[in-house]
Amino acid sequence: MGSHSYNSTKASLRSTMYQGQSVDTIFAQAKKRRVHESMDPKAIRLRECRDSDVHPMTFPIMFSLDVTGSMGRIPAMLIQSELPTLVKGIIDSGVTSPQILFLGIGDQYSDDAPLQVGQFEGGDEQMELWLKNTWLEGNGGSNAHESYLLSWYFAANHTATDAFDKRGKKGLLITVGDEASHGSIDSSIMNKIMDISVEGTLTDKVLLAQAQEKWECYHLHVMEGNWGPRTLGYWKDLMGENCIEVSSYKNIPKIVAELAIKHGQVAQTQTQTQTQTSHHSIML
């Protein structure tokens, strides 16, 4: 995975084509009413973001999308218009090898697929494929909570990246939604979702802290509608400045690109400096 190049021209042409299609046509799992087998976490134990000849210095990005209710507009917007601009902007900034993994998030208590997991991809067609394979389940319950904490659990326990393992550089993990996260997971929840057990009860705070060891974590909080303003306090208490208020969901691609550029450029600059210092020491 992740060995393909991103062609923004072809991606833009396809996004124009998608504009003439219904959401149910683009996201085929909507009609099938089930998680795509390739994104079912029961069969997934590790997602890797590795360097290659095509991408010698990968920058991993986990893009975790709430796929319940009105939040389903965001994956549709990405595939029909904004994803090519987002990725091209990151690459043009000098972050030449972004690798994006899409996650779909729902409600661990009421949804059939509260966690869906793609692959890290750098190619335009491959990136789109995982996004299109996501089931926009649309339920989410009525409890003002979704299972964003599953993103942190997966990032902390089921990912491996060359950025971190080889270069000691964190990737970028962004959750997007308008509700609060459920406060904890336990073995009964994880057995249902991933067919695995966890020890004790893991809280949102613990899981976020674990994810932050390898990932720069942000939450983009959508303030449109009724839930956003009501649940903002939860996110501000949990994440502080890394909770970013979003007045319109249409602003999300721009913010994601800015965060990727910010952290991707820092990671690459630090790596290049370390390499130059190492070469200088060898010459001495």
Query: For residue 15, what are its two tokens?
Result: 């996004």
How much is the average pLDDT of 236-258? 98
User: Which residues fall within 8 angstroms of residue 13, CB to CB, at 6 or more apart?
Assistant: none
Least confident of 35-39, 86-90, 137-141: 137-141
Task: Go through the chain and tell me how many residues it has.
Answer: 284
Specify the pTM: 0.94
pLDDT single digits (tens) 130-160 = 999 999 999 876 788 999 999 999 999 999 9
Q: If one looks up domain 8-283 in CATH, what number appears?
A: 3.40.50.410
What is the per-residue burial (b if ≥16 Cβ within 10 Å, else e) of 262-282?
A: ebbeebbeebeeeeeeeeeee
The domains of the chain are located at 8-283
Alpha helices per DSSP H over the chain: 8-18, 23-26, 29-32, 73-77, 83-92, 124-133, 149-157, 162-165, 187-194, 204-211, 227-239, 252-283
Confidence of residue 280 (pLDDT cuts 50, 70, 90): very low
Placement of tokens 């990136």 in the chain:
127
